[in-house]
């Protein structure tokens, strides 16, 4: 019930205390979502044998250092970090 609205004095609608504003699902959100999907698709092409999760930060957190040969590991980590940066920058 914390997100419910009720009428205050003078008939205005007010939020109950402690409720957070509703998320905005506008064109900016759609663009960010589409952009993140494109970046992840590009990364999947570059790393076809990898099982990449939807959250790339979590993918990095779950990665076990030393589980690949050194040169592959450096390339893998660089590509995933670059993808995370591209998503954050929006480019």
Please write the tens of the pLDDT for every residue from 27-39. 666 677 788 889 9
How many angstroms separate the CA atoms of 38 and 4, rounded?
37
Q: 63: Cβ–Cβ under 8 A, 6 or more apart, which residues? A: 76, 77, 80
- Rounded CA-CA distance 5/22 in Å is 12
Convert the pLDDT of each residue in 37-75 to its tens digit.
899 899 999 888 888 888 888 888 888 999 999 999 999
Q: What is the pLDDT of residue 10?
A: 54
Q: Residue 15 pLDDT > 90, yes or no?
A: no
Average pLDDT for residues 8-29, to the nearest whole number?
55
Name the more confident of 68 and 2.
68
Confidence (pLDDT) at 34: 86
């Amino acid at each position: 019930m914390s997100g419910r609205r009720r009428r205050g004095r003078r008939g205005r609608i007010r939020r109950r205390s402690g409720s957070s504003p509703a998320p905005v699902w506008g064109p900016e959100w759609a663009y960010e979502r589409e952009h993140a999907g494109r970046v992840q698709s590009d990364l999947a092409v570059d790393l076809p044998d990898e099982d990449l999760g939807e959250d790339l930060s979590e993918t990095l957190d779950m990665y076990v250092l030393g589980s690949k040969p050194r040169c592959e590991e450096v390339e893998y980590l660089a590509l995933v970090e670059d993808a995370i940066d591209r998503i954050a920058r929006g480019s």
